Amino acid sequence: LLAGSLRAATTAPGAGVPNPCNSKSGGVFPEVAYHQGKLWCAVQTGESLRVVELNADLTVASEKKLALGPGSLAFPRMASEGAALWIAYRDQATAKLVNLATGESQSLGASGGNDPVAVGSGLVAWQSEDAAFTMVREWAGSLVASSRFG
């Protein structure tokens, strides 16, 4: 519900401030997460992925930009655990995982499909390039499982 409200709104409530989470990137939807008492959103804007920390009035408290290659469809997903806010996304045909607290970035491997990544409960998952397999591993670990669909 919250994510839908942020996607639909073009301005912050009562402030007339443009909504920093409004996506105009043709089918790549923003992601919203709650981390350490604040809302965060990730939205693709052309060849960058904006990760925005929001104040209570939905104005921007801080912002990070992650570069994307041409033609990327990022489909970001975020998860909070302790002091770390994690984001997984697709950059061109490669799934990536970033710890936003430390800036550490990891390339997970080739990724495809319309829902290329997922994060949560200490795990990251991504679809293989042909979307026939789902790979799962711990955030800071080795491969846990691989499943074939279809």
> SS3 for 4?
helix
pLDDT in tens, 70-128: 989 999 999 998 899 999 999 999 999 999 999 999 999 899 888 899 999 888 989 88
Q: Are 96 and 105 in contact (CB under 8 A)?
A: yes
Does 131 have pLDDT greater than 80?
no
Distance CA 98, CA 113 (A): 20
pLDDT interval class at 30 (50, 70, 90): confident
How confident is the model at residue 82, as a pLDDT?
86
pTM: 0.81
